Amino acid sequence: MLNDSSINAKKKLKNIKWREIFILQEFKCYLSNSDFIEISTLNQFLREKLRQQVLYKVKLNPEFLLQFPNYFYRKEFDIESEFDKELETIPNFQSNRIDPFMTDLIRVLNSFDSDLLQIEFDRLYRPGYYIVPCVSKFGHLTGLSICDCELELKGFNKFIQELDKLEYLSIKNIEFLILAEENPLNPETFLPNTLKELELGYMNLKKVYYNNTPYEYLFYDRSGFLDSNHHITAQKLPNLKKLKVSMDSTYISSYFPSLMDLNPQLKQLAIPCYYLSSSAVKPLSNAGNLNELHIAFKTDYNEFRRFDFMPLESVNSLSIKLIPSSQYRKVYTLVNLCQKITKFNASLDSYSDEFIKRVLKKLDHLKTIELEIKDFTLEEFDLSIFSNMESLKLNITSNEMIRYKLPEQLFNLKSIKITSNNYKDCFNFMLEEYSNSPTWNIKLLGKAIRCRAITS
């Protein structure tokens, strides 16, 4: 326990860098300080931070599962050779291999008790069919992420409804399995009403045959794919505030507008640009609840649906990613939808001075702008065009040395942060150019060039 005679507990504990203390090296550094020599893992404060920052989440991926000696899907050896002397193991693969492993895994997860709030299943593929459903035994979970897994659709529809405390759900790159004799079936999937944040990605239906044993399914199954994508049923989720739709999801013209119409209470929305349409924007425009809009261009998808101009006046932050130079006109349309934004973030294939000037001209309320630039071909970057902003952040991946020209007179711009591949040469140039500047203070912090306006 802490020794109250050696330190002022309240004062010292406030200064502990809890996010670092769980790294072994950092932990040893703290223990080398005599003031903390008597900290033990039983300390109330340490236990609380351990519970909140370490025990709350478990990520199940192949690397983690292979640490279990009895994991049933081990690719690093020829599993058939192991069965030469126990041929009965193959037809009894479920009871001899899968069930004992799942018992051990659930026991390990149960050891976290109620501290375990989030589980992430990542890249399990076929073993996910047997592993993911174990979440039904943890009804207190508030977060669930499933990516690159195969699941029985009927089983998923059942256990997802049992998680009645779920607040965050991410499902991407999922192959939902249905039995051949069950096709056609009603594939509707309903989610818990408790959800506050939802991320949706690619989902597909796959046909499997009932006479497959678990061993055959895991190692030899060649079942064909149904020519059908799966979508979570459009439904009203009254507590949903954040929705993200990945670019690899399949577009269906009626699905997304229905989802928007049922959930006009959304605060944050992230979608591919081709999901925008009049019917999708209208309920969001009428409700006036949306604060953040994140749009991403899919470079191999050129369709951009024309829609009537319905401004999203409630949006104060707009992010547009993966902007190719051929799509600037589409960006102007998006900016016209959100003219009252105070924060703008964009990632560009290449920088165009004219494009940025036209965007800034449309945004009278803008205070912060962040630009990620892949290719910058100019030798000089005149930052005076951002003088009416309060904050500017640049991330340039180009290896070229760029001469940044800072505004000579201060208007609203107070802070500039620049990161680039060639940050050292860029900083040396700026340091030489502005070493005696009465307007700007320039420092290199890590790999970032920081420019602060001198106001007094």
Mean pLDDT value of segment 182-204:
87
Query: Cα(209)–Cα(204) distance, rounded to whole angstroms?
Result: 17
Pick the more confident residue, 196 or 253: 196
Residues 275-303 have pLDDT tens digits of 888 888 999 999 999 999 999 987 545 45
Q: DSSP H helical segments within 145-213, as ranges?
A: 153-162
Mean pLDDT of 246-271: 87
Checking if the pLDDT of 212 tops 70, the result is no
Q: pLDDT-based confidence at 5, cuts 50/70/90?
A: very low
pLDDT tens-digit profile of 12-40? 556 666 555 555 555 556 555 545 545 55
Q: Does residue 327 or residue 283 have the better pLDDT?
A: 283
Q: Which of 448, 348, 339, 438 is nearest to 393 (CA)?
A: 448
Cβ-based neighbours of 345, under 8 Å, separated by 6 or more:
317, 318, 319, 320, 369, 370, 371, 372
184, pLDDT greater than 60: no
What mean pLDDT do residues 325-352 have?
Answer: 92
User: Beta strands 118-125 and 143-152: pairing type?
Assistant: parallel
6: confidence class by pLDDT, cuts 50, 70, 90: very low
Dist. CA 341–CA 315, nearest whole Å: 6
**Cα-Cα-Cα-Cα dihedral sign, residues 92, 162, 142, 275:** positive
Looking at residue 112, its pLDDT comes to 80
The pLDDT value given to residue 27: 58
Looking at residue 294, what is its pLDDT?
96
Domain boundaries, given as residue ranges, for the chain:
9-48
Residue 414, Cβ density class (10 Å: 0-12 exposed, 13-18 middle, ≥19 buried): middle
The answer to whether the beta carbons of residues 284 and 260 sit under 8 Å apart is: yes
Q: What is the pLDDT of residue 57?
A: 87
Please state, rounded to an integer, the average pLDDT across all residues of the chain. 84
What DSSP letter does each residue of 314-342 carry, written as one string?
T--EEEEEEE-GGGHHHHHHHHHHTTT-S
pLDDT of 345 higher than 90: yes
pLDDT classification of 439: cutoffs 50, 70, 90: very high
Whole-number pLDDT of residue 4:
42
Q: What is the C-alpha to C-alpha distance for residues 267 and 45, in angstroms, rounded to an integer?
A: 35
Q: So what's the pLDDT on residue 77?
A: 42
User: Tokens 């499933």 appear where?
Assistant: 146
Are the beta carbons of 127 and 152 closer than 8 angstroms? Answer: no
Q: Cα separation of 326 and 297, whole Å?
A: 11
pLDDT given for residue 320 in this prediction: 96
- What region, left, alpha or beta, does residue 125 occupy, with left being phi > 0 and alpha being psi -120 to 50 degrees? left
Looking at residue 12, its pLDDT comes to: 59
Helix (H, G, I), strand (E, B) or coil at 244: strand
Q: Report the Cα–Cα distance between both ends of the chain, in Å, rounded.
A: 49
Alpha carbon separation from 254 to 176, 226, 276 (Å, rounded): 22, 21, 12
Write the DSSP string, 412-424: S--EEEEEETTHH
- Global pTM value: 0.83
Range with the lowest mean pLDDT among 49-63, 68-82, 406-420?
Answer: 68-82
Pair of tokens at residue 200: 């949706």
Q: Highest mean pLDDT: which of 2-16, 41-55, 82-96, 393-407? A: 393-407
